[in-house]
A = this chain, B = another copy of it.
Amino acid sequence: MPTSVWLRPERAAVGRPARRSRSEITAAAVAVADRDGAEAVSMRRVAAELGTGAGTLYRYVETRDELLDLMADHVTGEYAFAAPTGDWLEDLVATALQARDIHRRHPWLADRVLTAPGTGPHGADLVEHHLAVLAEHPADDGAKLVALGVLSALVATFARAEHAGRDLERNAEYMAHVAAAGTHPHISALDAPPPDPAHDPLPDVLRRVLTGLLPIDSGS
């Protein structure tokens, strides 16, 4: 009695064959999300994208949430894993930068991976690659998996910040108000040097976090 989408057989063994496939529906949903955002991914909208009825989708998917899981795994298939070079730190950073590219192509992914980090076939590939890169590292498996979780969360958070237009404006507006109010002296004392667009802060942050999280000399 499998409950995971990826363990449930896609098509029935007998009877009339289905006209569409799970990945076809997933691709349509991804197209809708890329175009109009995650909240536009309604069953009716995706069905319309495929020229079919809304109820039909439930022949392929048990729930809307399941469809979102499928979408997330679908786009994590966009990684192009390179063979480990022997420098685990740079390998992990390179993979994380690929993750950021994926997030840039699919802005809706960040919210999903943060709130419902499900794992499908492509997610398993990512875990496998991560563990392969760290194969020689003395840390124990738990620490390695924690590192992967932290990496994913961090990249998603940075990606979110990149295209958070409205929210950031409102937040900056309020923080400016607080700074001007005079309470909160340390906030008032903040100076904001114009961020250098040529300098990418993410690799540095990741290197620092990873060296803290996976010290080369000890596994615990």
Contact surface of A with B, Cβ cutoff 8 Å = 2-4, 6-7, 110-111, 114-121, 124-125, 127-128, 131-132, 135, 140-142, 146, 149-150, 153-154, 157, 160-161, 167, 169-171, 173-175, 177-178, 184-187, 190-193, 195, 201, 205, 208-213, 215
Complex CA distance for A110 and B115, rounded to whole angstroms: 8
Which of A111, A167, A191 has the most chain B CB within a 10 Å cutoff?
Answer: A167
Chain B residues with CB under 8 Å of A111's CB are: 114-115
Bound-state CA distance A153–B114 (Å) is: 9
Instruction: Let me know if B119 and A150 touch, CB within 8 A.
Output: no
Q: Is the CB–CB distance between A131 and B175 below 8 Å?
A: no
| Distance (whole angstroms) from the CB of A111 to the closest CB of chain B | 5
- By the criterion CB–CB under 8 Å, are B187 and A146 in contact? no
**How close is A105's CB to chain B, nearest CB, in angstroms?**
19
From the candidates B114, B178, B195, name the one contacting A157 in the complex (CB within 8 A).
Answer: B114
Chain B residues with CB below 8 A from A191, complex form = 141
- Given the known interface contacts A141-B191, A190-B141, the answer about A174 and B215 at a Cβ–Cβ threshold of 8 Å is no
